[in-house]
Amino acid sequence: APVAKVWNAITDVDQMRQWYFDLKEFRAEVGFEFEFLVEHEGNTYHHLCKVMEVVPQKKIAYTWRYKGEPGDSLVTFELSAEGDKTRLRLTHTGIETFPKTPAYARKNFETGWTQIIGAELKKFVESKENK
């Protein structure tokens, strides 16, 4: 899918809700704070995030931490055009600052992001292309 479509999918709250998380609100503006809940294996994780950097159609980064838990991390989405397709690079740094429990193990984040970006986002933008 072209960069503009992918950018909209990762920054437009109505689109994000369809493949990402159930966000009440989101704006691609530096300083914008948002939160969401994720249920996983009987536990609820309250995510707190703050947009740190926005380069339209190219890059968005936000902090990612958990309410009531130590640690803070940064999630960065970087887009680059490859012909009529888009390469998306996702970087999640600071995972090691989270509690040393299995729930916050690096491999869990890798598995989660691979599913979210590699499957959910891909399927979402490709289904929009065919409409």
Q: What is the CA radius of gyration of the chain?
A: 15
- For residue 69, pLDDT beyond 70: yes
> pLDDT for 3-40, tens place per residue?
999 999 999 999 999 999 999 999 999 999 999 999 98
Separation of alpha carbons 85 and 51, rounded Å = 26
pLDDT number for residue 94: 98
Q: Which amino acid is at 37?
A: L
CATH class of domain segment(s) 3-129? alpha beta
pTM tops 0.85: yes
What does the pLDDT read at residue 131? 61
pLDDT digits (tens, 9 = 90+) for 87-121: 999 999 999 999 999 999 999 999 999 999 999 99
Domain boundaries in the chain? 3-129
